[in-house]
Chain A
Amino acid sequence: MDINLWSLRTGDRCEILGYDNALDEKYRVRLMEFGFHPGESVSCLQSLAFGAPKVYRVSNTVFSLDDEVASHVLVRVLPSHE
């Protein structure tokens, strides 16, 4: 199922498909510099209460993104065994 990164819940894994056009170019570039490449696997480590930024892991680095960024990253949820 294709959704956005912000929709993930704690423990979910996904593959990045790309970015929607609403995301500013410089943020798209910066996210790719952080390792959020299309095809990369990302895990949601923490989905906090009250709409707080969520915590994502890419390789061995952990980032916190709020909905203004994460909702523009298009992903495909991976089954837990993949």
Chain B
Amino acid sequence: MSWSGCSRPMSKVLLIGSPNSGKSLLFNRLTGLHHKVANFPGITVDVSTGHLHDLPGTELIDFPGTYSLQAISADERVAVEHFERSLDDAEVSHVLCVVDATRLEKSLYFTLQVIRECARHGKPVTVLANMMDVLDSHKLTLDAGALAEALQAPVLPVSGRSGKGLNAVVGALRGDQALPATWAGQSLDVPDEQLRLTAHQLAQRFGTRGDVLIRNQTRLDGIFLHSWAGGFAFFFIMYLLFQSIFTWAAPLMDAVEWLIGTVANWLVPMIGNQTVKDFTADALFGGIGAFLVFVPQIFILTFVIGLLEDSGYMARAALICHRPLRLFGLTGKSFIPMLSGVACAIPAIYAARAIDSPRKRLLTYMAIPLMPCSARLPVYTLLIAAFIPATTGLGGLVGWQGLAMFTIYFFGMFCGLLVTALVSRTSKDHYSDLPFVLELPPYRVPSLVPLLRNCWNRAKHFVTKAGKIIFAVTVGVWVLGYFPNFGSDLGTSWLGYLGHLIEPLFAPLGLDWRYGVAILSSFLAREVFVGTLGTIFGIESADEQMSPLVQHIQDSDMALGSGIALLVFFAIALQCISTLAILARESGSASLAVKMFAGYFLFAYAAAMAVYQFTSLFT
């Protein structure tokens, strides 16, 4: 047995429950950790751990939500196998099984399975009847004592949302209260069929009756799932999502840009050594500063997606999207990962675990890298600002830059659907398929604090993970461009030599060597393109914030066709090493990641060349 360094020996407590039972919120309450909590079944796709802050030396392990110990999907299998292995761990002292007190019929069969497994392994189990605040608000009760007697396991009424009842949970873990003898004298080999029957009878006896709990849900579903009103609401909500990215984020982006500029103007003149001064101004504030400007957008997008998940609307969106997505070989469950891919492909690939059909999960993997992720946003914003006039048409109703952004976003989505449609109709793969069954969670008011913490963590993750790559690439590009002539002539620098070497590759797209270098560097991470270009132009003029960078591009005599070709290239190419690594890991196939990288590069190159050559006919 290991020791935590305090007076108590280290022990582990397992937290398990069915999807959407509020388990993750309870985990956050008990540990003070703030991992992702969302009102969409299957959102917890990883095993999380944290230390119980009221019980030092005790680790709480949060398993992905599962409906049964008889797994039928990949994410359930991960949870079940790890849970069963953990029960053999001598350090595991207790199991907490979370049920949704408002919908017992959904949880009791699973609870009985857990109790049976724990009894087989000699582990005490406590059932946490969560969401008691919802029952209280409807003046409903749960006879926890009688349910405990029937289950032959303690039942504690709790509320993850309000924190009510959690002291009793800690008390139970501490051993303050005597636990009833569980499964004493009973067979531990009760068949699943018998457990299902028992669960059904217990649900009839203890479950809430009538329409009171579901009335609001039914009323709201009448709107959000209505044939016409639901479609309208869907498009309106998606419109708000895009507004949040481009309109609401603008003041924050301006503030970040101002802050970076102010710090640079204050710091750079104080540096004596010319090389260090150039490095600080061009590589640090130019390359990395141009990337940091986009952090507010990532924060806001994560917030809006989190709102949709926590409110319960995401599951409705999956339902609405199922039929159209089925035409492209996908499922409605693909919608969540694909929409998450608009923020970042990495969490989107993780989220695809919730798709129980291996074939549809694979197709979703193929679509995700073509979703217009936030890393593409800096590139799109830069190129659109450089090539599309900031004017309006149709009496001020349509902004051309906004329309261009809308078009390139949907172009990426269209390409994703095109690929899955083609692959699903032509491939004879060995992956099995599963049909669509989705629980629709109740509508809930999202909890703001966990939501904001999740946004903060996502933005921090983006900066720290991508930031390391960007810093390394930016420094590398700066060194190549600065030496051997100390920045006096970019054309005769090492970077200039390399750029001229690869120029023929990008010439069919109408791009010169500088853009070729920026594209090459962006294969590490797409957003590096802006930083690299900033560094390249910054070396020429020692100024590289967004507006001057736009000016440099406009002054570089790049044709409109090349600008559009670059947009098309970035919409398709899979330029993200982190995404490729996660793809290989999640799919269990490194060759899939390599094939996707090569395939999307060729697709991107061919499409961009076609666009440039076509537009050249008219200019």
Binding site for B on A (CB under 8 A): 26-27, 29-35, 37, 45-46, 48-53, 55, 57-66, 68-69
Contacts and interface: CB of A to CB of B under 8 A. Distances in A.
A57 B126 CA distance: 29
Contacts of B319: 48, 52-53, 55, 64
Given A53-B332, A59-B203, A26 B103 contact: no
A30 B66 CA distance: 11
Interface string B304-324: 000000000001000110110
A31 to B, nearest CB: 7
B214 A46 contact: no
Interface stretch (B46-54, B104-112, B399-407, B448-456): B104-112
Given A45-B218, A62-B218, 14 more contacts: A26-B70, A37-B200, A46-B221, A46-B226, A48-B227, A48-B320, A50-B227, A51-B323, A58-B105, A59-B207, A62-B217, A64-B315, A64-B319, A64-B436
A52 B193 CA distance: 32
A60 B217 CA distance: 10
Tier of interface size on chain B: 35 or more
Given A30-B68, A35-B203, A57-B214, A63 B437 contact: yes
Given A60-B208, A60-B213, A62-B217, A68 B436 contact: yes
Interface in B175-203: 192, 196, 200, 203
Given A35-B105, A62-B214, A29 B70 contact: yes
A54 B222 CA distance: 12
Contacts of B439: 34, 61-64
A37 B193 CA distance: 12
B532 interface: no
Contacts of B434: 27
Ranked 5 nearest A-B pairs via Cβ: A68-B435, A49-B227, A66-B436, A62-B440, A59-B105
User: Which residue among B208, B222, B227, B435 has the maximum number of chain A CB atoms within 10 Å of its CB?
Assistant: B435
Contacts of A33: 67-68, 109-110, 196
A72 B46 CA distance: 33
Interface string B221-240: 11001111010000000000
A59 B437 contact: no
A58 B226 CA distance: 20
A27 B67 contact: no
User: Which residue among A48, A64, A69 has the maximum number of chain B CB atoms within 10 Å of its CB?
Assistant: A64
A35 B438 contact: no
A33 B228 CA distance: 33
A37 B332 CA distance: 25
19 contacts: A27-B435, A29-B70, A30-B67, A30-B72, A33-B68, A33-B109, A34-B106, A35-B203, A49-B228, A52-B319, A53-B436, A53-B438, A58-B105, A60-B207, A60-B208, A60-B214, A61-B105, A62-B440, A65-B437
Contacts of A50: 227, 323
Contacts of B522: none
A63 B228 CA distance: 21
Contacts of A32: 196
